[in-house]
Structure 1
Amino acid sequence: MIKVWIRDLLMGVRFAVTGGRPGWTRTLLTGTGVGLGVAVLLLAASVPSAIHAGDVRDAARQYQYTEDARPTDTSVVVGHVFTEYRGKVVGGMLLQPDGDPEKTVTPPGINRVPGKGEIYVSPKLKRMLDGGDGELLAERFGNAKVIGTIGPDGLSGPADVRFYLGTDTLTAEEDGTRTELFGFATADNDPLPPSLLVLVIVMVVVLLLPIAVFIATAVRFGSEGRDRRLAALRLVGADSAMTHRMAAGEAVTGATFGLLFGGLFFTAGRLLVERFEVFGYSVYSADVVPTGWLAALILLLVPASAVMVTLLAMRKVAISPLGVAREGTDRGRRLWWRLVVLIVGAVSLGFFGPSMRGGDQVNEWGIAGGVLLTLVGVTLLLPWAVERVVGRMRGGPLSWQLATRRLQLNSGLAARAVSGVTVAVAGAVALQMLYSSVELRDRQETGQDPSRATMAASHYDIDAPEALDWIERIREVKGVTEANGFLVADLVNERTKPDDDGWRHAHRVKIADCDTLRLLVRTDGCRDGDVFFVPDPEEEEGPSPVRPGDRFDLRADQNAEAKQPTPLWWTVPKDMRAASAIANPMGELSRGLYVTPGAIDVKEIRHTWLEAMLTTDPANRDTVEHVRNLAPVTDRGFQTYELSMTTNSDEFNGIRNALMIGAVVILLLIGASMIVSTIEQLRERKRQLSVLVAFGTKRSTLGMSVLWQTAIPVVLGLVIATGGGIGLGVLLLRMVDESATDWLAFVPLVGAGLLMIALVTLASLPSLWRMMRPDGLRTE
């Protein structure tokens, strides 16, 4: 019995790899289709290892430190710095050795600590500096000499923008940290909120299910020719069981070629992966390694699914010595069991959803299974809908009749070809609805008002004359249309007594001209020399309210136990007036003293810092960069902020980027799958196309027929996907206790589907012209 099975399976293998050019073409098409899906599955299986490798390298460049560490020959003082350049965060470290630079410990990726004015840069940062606009970014690094590039072990990925800059101005006591060791274990990540976890689960199912659908479709390439060949075998004595085993052998062969091709596609893509940066993410080739058990699962499931899909398909086909007959063509496809799958999926989501409302428990497998069944149910409706719709089509132009007649003869083949589009669009519509609502929940109001100022800048711990100079420098930057700056100081009231720890509470004093004060406080009028006080009724601890005649020491330190300089007193004038605070463009509502320059000698204040609010010209995209260039990257006291009304969490931003990357990959796969499927259908019709051309049918007519043949199933699939996606989206929103905020999520997705019709048709035209040659009439 086993020998018979092996014989029949090997016979199927021979049919797959022999039979001349048509046999090889059929097998290669199947292998290519399966291989594309396998390559994407292997890529998905590599995501955990790529993320882990990046986390390990990120942890390796973190430093350990102990309080009151003493300098040694190997210790180094470290200071974190960062800047932004055209939307990219440029992060790095300032390094200052305590002893011999050759013995000093170094962060990963470099072999020695750079000296003063020397810098190591990542390859990506070096390309940015060497590019056409690199001079704008280079200003921030002054005259630093690039002495090398950071190795891969010191970067999260090839697109990481990072540097190590040598300096001699750091002190461990004030603005740096002393360490003798880099690298430590990462802390456990906080669990995702339930709404974000559901979003991740749905995203994984939506992105991976089209791949499975495409592989199931690809293993059935050439099924019509296979059925005719098996009918011939029945004529020479083979029974039904033998033909099924032979078909299984052919399917395993195609799947095996698919695994080989998938490995080749994956390897080729792995070698090229470092060249690409998608939404800020990049990985090294060495990081793209499939997780062992996932890779083994792919190797086992792909051939098994090929055999299963083939045998299930043959249940509907009666292969006899007289030919091939498809069972059930008169009564048509049944609808009830397709609806059962859809309903079971929807009920599953309704069952597992309430368990997480108001809590933190999420049944990941239950939700994933419910989404999977719902999407499969939506996709199963497509063959039934295509059969019902095209069965009623009559008349029309010749190209339309050719297309509809072909669909009427075998609507299942057309439905399979676009099933990947249906499941992808349905999932994407639901995912977009969920994404929009979760984004709204995750979004945090910053309180900032970009209509009043587009940018803010600050500089800490500078003296008053320098701060005033900074305001003028900011106003002179090209593209800055308005700049309002003010000084801030913490001054100690003579009446304030030290607390138990020896510290004296200070009053926040802001010094600005009247034009700037109008952005901060509401008054009944202002002129230079005025002083205003805004009390804080909610403050229970701290300094007592300011009264006219109170004296403030412009030079005192809040630490009463520290050595104090000679006092320089400033007296609050008797005409001080009360005012009320208003939120500034940064969204801050500050209380305390507001003083115009004419009322205080700002040059005598010991400790001040600068705050400025800027309005920039939107037509000049580099205005922000010119403002950032006012200080070198080593000046950690200077900071800039672009104002925005809302912001999202880092976890949500990471999920959003992963979604975008996955969507791009799946869109490319679907496009490639439709092209391969269309070419396979044209190959099956080679003889008919040649006959039609021989009888005088125009090539343009046949080209239009291919367009209609692609468009009709896709349009039906988009209609079903839209309805199913909206329904699934509503179920998911109920699960996270949210309401729909984006009912038009399907519009761009439908547009992408229609665009795909045109692209697939254009890509298949060269094969169509080639198959309409007269040699297609040749037979044996």
Structure 2
Amino acid sequence: MSIRQWSRDLGMGAKFAFTGGREGWVRVLLTAVGVGLGVALLLLTTAIPNALAVRHDRDQARLDYTYGRKHVVKSDDTLVISDANTTYHGKDVRGRLVEPEGPRAPLAPGLSAYPAPGEMVVSPALKSLLDSGDGTLLRERLPYRVVGTIGEPGLIGSHELAYYAGAKNLASRINGWQTARITEFGNPQPSSSDRADPVLILLVLVVFVVLLMPVAVFIAAAVRFGGERRDRRLAALRLVGSDSRMTRRIAAGEALGGSLVGLVFGLVFFLLGRELAGSVEIMDISVFPSYLNPTPALAALVAVAVPAAAVLVTLFALRGVVIEPLGVVRTAKQARRRLWWRLLLPLAGLAMLSPMIGQGRDNGNFNEYLVIGGVLLLLIGVTALLPWIVEAVVNRLGPGGVAWQLAVRRLQLSSGTAARMVNGVAVAVAGAIALQMVFAGVESDYTKETGKDVSQAQMQVNLVRGTSMAAAQAKLAATKGVRKATALAGSDAAVRSWHSKKGPGTSVPLTIGDCTALRTVADLPSCKDGDVFTLKGADQSYVSDADVAKLAKPGRALHLSTDYGVGEGPNVEWTVPHGLKQARAITAPDGIVFGGILLTPSALPHSAAPFISSTVYLSLDTSVPDVYEYARNTAAAIDPLSDATVWAATEQARKFTSIRTGLLAGATCVLALIGASLLVSQLEQLRDRRKLLSALVAFGTRRRTLGLSVLWQTAIPIALGLLLAAAVGLTLGLVLLKMVGATVSVDWPSVLTMSGIGAAVVFTVTALSLPPLFRLMRPDGLRTE
């Protein structure tokens, strides 16, 4: 068969699609909408790598890190900048205090000029929040006048909360980590990427396969919309002399025409979704529309693959349909579907994954081709097995009520159509179950105990040097919702000055606090203001008992650290007093076993007070609404550079959390596609059965009965699909757990949750299709022109 003949037949079919009158246009429109939704999500997926790269580049471009920078002296091209990040209602707020020291000071990305002291420029999202009723407490924390907004180049997302505020006298606060003098923005020492974690790479690969597979299933189903009516129309072609092969090629041409229109629809849907993306935030991730630019090569692949898939799917679907001049042999009893080749697909998938079982993360990376191929074959196995299962079950269903009989008979006549409707849901649920099992299985590897005792304190406020510890403690203790405030201060004492050419030498930590506070870190024999204690039993990685005994000798002069290791701070001496007491270190609320020397406030020389760092630990009444925000507001009122953090018993690795968040965000988009595509499919089936429904109503069938029959037609296939999805998902999850070397267990809550979500999507679509169903159930639907 020549290419010319193929192109002529495909072109003729495409022409029939657009010149077939209202019937043909409706079918093209349905196909185009279904394909367009899938194409839009595929284009969105191809744009994700670029969006992540742009977010990373913009985040790197605005970095004001000082680690590794050389000491910078004041000049007309320097900027002093302080990190003033905060959190509000669980959302991070990126804050910077800035003080340009000359006209050529580096300008932060997204700014046209720096705000004056007492003023700030904010991101559009932060401005909206501050102007709303929800931002009342945050306005108290940021007492600056808004004079402008940060441009897109200075933000990583449309919903990012960020601000730059003008300040004075920041140079006196330079410490090398929170406040610094810089001459440019950006990471001064971009590090090479760490060795990739094989387990995380495996998760990323499986996530992409699981999210994209349902899209492919829906595109394949969309090109078959209106298949029965199309095949009956094609019978007329046999009357004018076309053979069966030519007829199939013409049918493929009709699908090709619909898919080409679907590409246009998909581009339109993508552009609309691209603009909508700027106003949407999913799992705390937002982007600007300009981020979502598909990679040209991947976009071209989509443009070629979708029409090609439409032709191949149509030819595959017509392999068992006999189109004759007098009609279509489809309503006769079909040969039973064969099971053997359907089982080969999942078995082949397991065979591809089996060589990597037990590999874990210690034996190199997983073979990405085997991973992708194995997972694909297992999920394709769902689409292959489900029609056989639906056919086998519905052929054995017994009699029941009228609604049940109508539903069962319809399923027996077109079990393949019913299976196609829920195939995408089954694939999505199977993949999601497997991934949730893997996430649950390896979560402990990426979760670690912080050591913090959240029963004693739920929050800590780190104060900048020079802040009065007693005054800060009193203000925080008086804050609404704070039950107790415990303050401790600290510094390091060394045998020589910290500016000595020989270096400070051996040093020990000093911990300052009242007797109540010191008892949270040590078992004290007795305590009164003025006492000094030496600690034993400290964590040896923190300080050794030998170093403490060596330096804590009465009458010895020790030198306190006053400059964070930068600049030329003054030399402050402290003489170890007589009458030292001994105490035993205990685990502090923050999980540290302190060591060194403990001092009550009056034992500290007044000259050292401006160079002591303080931390206040807060016990909160969490039943008070916004108690964390009240504490943060008080901390900001004490000093804008105070760092208030909420304690947690555990913390997860950022990369692991990012992958899980990406899965949830992607799953949300896929579920939206599933719902929209299912609704289009359901409407197409109702349109195809319009005359049948009208005939049933004309014979007196109640609307309630027909509505229940539609519900049963949905419930039976989805129940079978979810059972198959659970079986395949559990199998894939167990195999993946064995591959990563994790403990094999079934995460039943995740299985039930994902199955419930899949069922909810289908039943929601069924409910939305009932109004069109009732409009179709009118006797005048039998009228024919």
Pair in the same fold by TM > 0.5: yes
| C-alpha displacement of 1:665 | 0.3
Secondary structure of 1:278's match? Answer: coil
> Conserved in 1, the CA contact under 8 Å of 2:494 and 2:504?
no
Asked whether 1:573 is paired with 2:583, we answer no
Corresponding residue of 1:109: 110
Corresponding residue of 1:490: 492
> Conserved in 1, the CA contact under 8 Å of 2:119 and 2:165?
yes
> Conserved in 1, the CA contact under 8 Å of 2:345 and 2:377?
yes
After superposition, the Cα gap between the structure-2 partners of 1:76 and 1:767, relative to the gap in structure 1 and judged at 3 Å, is same
Secondary structure of 1:114's match? Answer: coil
Asked whether 1:296 is paired with 2:297, we answer no
| C-alpha displacement of 1:277 | 1.2
Q: Please, which of 760, 767, 771 is the counterpart of residue 755 of structure 1?
A: 760
Q: Please, which of 648, 652, 656 is the counterpart of residue 648 of structure 1?
A: 652
| C-alpha displacement of 1:273 | 1.5
| C-alpha displacement of 1:244 | 0.9
Distance in 2 between the 1:512 and 1:550 partners?
A: 20
After superposition, the Cα gap between the structure-2 partners of 1:589 and 1:390, relative to the gap in structure 1 and judged at 3 Å, is same
Asked whether 1:709 is paired with 2:747, we answer no
Q: Which string of whole-angstrom CA distances, capped at 9 and with x for unpartnered residues, describes residues 199-247 of structure 1?
A: 1111000000000000001111111111111223223432112211110
Q: Which string of whole-angstrom CA distances, capped at 9 and with x for unpartnered residues, describes residues 299-330 of structure 1?
A: 10101001101001111111122322249955
After superposition, the Cα gap between the structure-2 partners of 1:359 and 1:633, relative to the gap in structure 1 and judged at 3 Å, is farther
| C-alpha displacement of 1:776 | 1.6
Distance in 2 between the 1:567 and 1:306 partners?
A: 82
Distance in 2 between the 1:371 and 1:243 partners?
A: 36
| C-alpha displacement of 1:696 | 0.3
Q: Which moved more, 1:565-574 or 1:245-254?
A: 565-574
| C-alpha displacement of 1:752 | 1.2
Amino acid at match of 2:583: A
Distance in 2 between the 1:56 and 1:565 partners?
A: 42
> Conserved in 1, the CA contact under 8 Å of 2:492 and 2:561?
no
Distance in 2 between the 1:395 and 1:155 partners?
A: 63
Q: Which string of whole-angstrom CA distances, capped at 9 and with x for unpartnered residues, describes residues 625-676 of structure 1?
A: 2222224489465222211111112211221221111010011111111111
Secondary structure of 1:708's match? Answer: helix
| C-alpha displacement of 1:602 | 6.8
Corresponding residue of 1:474: 476
Secondary structure of 2:171's match? Answer: coil
Q: Which moved more, 1:163-172 or 1:335-344?
A: 163-172
Corresponding residue of 1:156: 156
Distance in 2 between the 1:547 and 1:260 partners?
A: 78
| C-alpha displacement of 1:169 | 1.3
After superposition, the Cα gap between the structure-2 partners of 1:91 and 1:396, relative to the gap in structure 1 and judged at 3 Å, is same
Corresponding residue of 2:59: 58
Amino acid at match of 1:152: E
After superposition, the Cα gap between the structure-2 partners of 1:633 and 1:151, relative to the gap in structure 1 and judged at 3 Å, is farther
> Conserved in 2, the CA contact under 8 Å of 1:85 and 1:625?
yes
After superposition, the Cα gap between the structure-2 partners of 1:366 and 1:622, relative to the gap in structure 1 and judged at 3 Å, is same
Secondary structure of 1:264's match? Answer: helix
After superposition, the Cα gap between the structure-2 partners of 1:541 and 1:571, relative to the gap in structure 1 and judged at 3 Å, is closer
Matches for 1:683-694 after TM superposition, within 5 Å? 683-694=687-698
Count residues with an aligned counterpart. 771
After superposition, the Cα gap between the structure-2 partners of 1:403 and 1:545, relative to the gap in structure 1 and judged at 3 Å, is same
Distance in 1 between the 2:568 and 2:64 partners?
A: 32
Corresponding residue of 2:97: 94
Corresponding residue of 1:135: 136
> Conserved in 2, the CA contact under 8 Å of 1:129 and 1:137?
yes
Matches for 1:223-242 after TM superposition, within 5 Å? 223-242=227-246
Distance in 2 between the 1:157 and 1:498 partners?
A: 44
> Conserved in 2, the CA contact under 8 Å of 1:548 and 1:573?
no
> Conserved in 1, the CA contact under 8 Å of 2:63 and 2:185?
yes
> Conserved in 1, the CA contact under 8 Å of 2:453 and 2:590?
yes
Q: Which moved more, 1:224-233 or 1:249-258?
A: 224-233
After superposition, the Cα gap between the structure-2 partners of 1:172 and 1:308, relative to the gap in structure 1 and judged at 3 Å, is farther
Distance in 2 between the 1:10 and 1:314 partners?
A: 18
> Conserved in 2, the CA contact under 8 Å of 1:437 and 1:740?
yes
> Conserved in 2, the CA contact under 8 Å of 1:461 and 1:637?
no
> Conserved in 2, the CA contact under 8 Å of 1:82 and 1:92?
yes
> Conserved in 1, the CA contact under 8 Å of 2:331 and 2:413?
no
TM-score (norm 2): 0.92
> Conserved in 2, the CA contact under 8 Å of 1:47 and 1:290?
yes
Distance in 2 between the 1:564 and 1:505 partners?
A: 19
Distance in 2 between the 1:138 and 1:537 partners?
A: 43
| C-alpha displacement of 1:431 | 0.6
| C-alpha displacement of 1:75 | 3.0
Amino acid at match of 2:492: D
Corresponding residue of 1:369: 373
Q: Please, which of 675, 680, 690 is the counterpart of residue 679 of structure 2?
A: 675
Distance in 1 between the 2:530 and 2:323 partners?
A: 102
Matches for 1:698-777 after TM superposition, within 5 Å? 698-744=702-748, 745-777=750-782
> Conserved in 2, the CA contact under 8 Å of 1:488 and 1:509?
yes
Question: Kindly, what percent of the aligned residue pairs are identical?
Answer: 43
Amino acid at match of 2:395: G
Secondary structure of 1:276's match? Answer: coil
Q: Which moved more, 1:563-572 or 1:335-344?
A: 563-572
| C-alpha displacement of 1:152 | 0.7
Distance in 1 between the 2:3 and 2:733 partners?
A: 50
Corresponding residue of 1:85: 88
> Conserved in 2, the CA contact under 8 Å of 1:547 and 1:572?
no
| C-alpha displacement of 1:565 | 6.8
Corresponding residue of 1:181: 184
Asked whether 1:433 is paired with 2:434, we answer no
Distance in 2 between the 1:360 and 1:320 partners?
A: 58
> Conserved in 1, the CA contact under 8 Å of 2:530 and 2:600?
yes
| C-alpha displacement of 1:719 | 0.4
Corresponding residue of 2:314: 310
> Conserved in 1, the CA contact under 8 Å of 2:217 and 2:424?
yes
TM-score (norm 1): 0.92
Corresponding residue of 2:282: 278
Q: Please, which of 577, 581, 587 is the counterpart of residue 583 of structure 1?
A: 587
After superposition, the Cα gap between the structure-2 partners of 1:468 and 1:691, relative to the gap in structure 1 and judged at 3 Å, is same
After superposition, the Cα gap between the structure-2 partners of 1:537 and 1:265, relative to the gap in structure 1 and judged at 3 Å, is closer
Amino acid at match of 1:145: R
Secondary structure of 1:594's match? Answer: strand
Q: Which string of whole-angstrom CA distances, capped at 9 and with x for unpartnered residues, describes residues 78-128 of structure 1?
A: 33331111222211332222223xx44311211122222221111111112
Q: Which moved more, 1:52-61 or 1:686-695?
A: 52-61
Corresponding residue of 2:168: 168
How large is the Cα RMSD of the aligned pairs? 2.9
> Conserved in 1, the CA contact under 8 Å of 2:531 and 2:603?
no
After superposition, the Cα gap between the structure-2 partners of 1:634 and 1:93, relative to the gap in structure 1 and judged at 3 Å, is farther
Q: Which moved more, 1:362-371 or 1:328-337?
A: 328-337
| C-alpha displacement of 1:159 | 1.3
Q: Which runs of 5+ in 1 are unaligned?
A: none
Amino acid at match of 2:486: N
Q: Please, which of 256, 260, 280 is the counterpart of residue 252 of structure 1?
A: 256
> Conserved in 2, the CA contact under 8 Å of 1:82 and 1:633?
no
Matches for 1:489-568 after TM superposition, within 5 Å? 489-491=491-493, 501-523=502-524, 531-535=532-536, 536=538, 538=540, 539=543, 543-545=547-549, 550-551=554-555
After superposition, the Cα gap between the structure-2 partners of 1:261 and 1:456, relative to the gap in structure 1 and judged at 3 Å, is same
Asked whether 1:348 is paired with 2:379, we answer no
Q: Which moved more, 1:555-564 or 1:181-190?
A: 555-564
After superposition, the Cα gap between the structure-2 partners of 1:617 and 1:726, relative to the gap in structure 1 and judged at 3 Å, is same
Q: Which moved more, 1:195-204 or 1:11-20?
A: 11-20
| C-alpha displacement of 1:544 | 4.2
> Conserved in 2, the CA contact under 8 Å of 1:81 and 1:634?
no
| C-alpha displacement of 1:504 | 4.5
Asked whether 1:210 is paired with 2:214, we answer yes
> Conserved in 1, the CA contact under 8 Å of 2:234 and 2:323?
yes
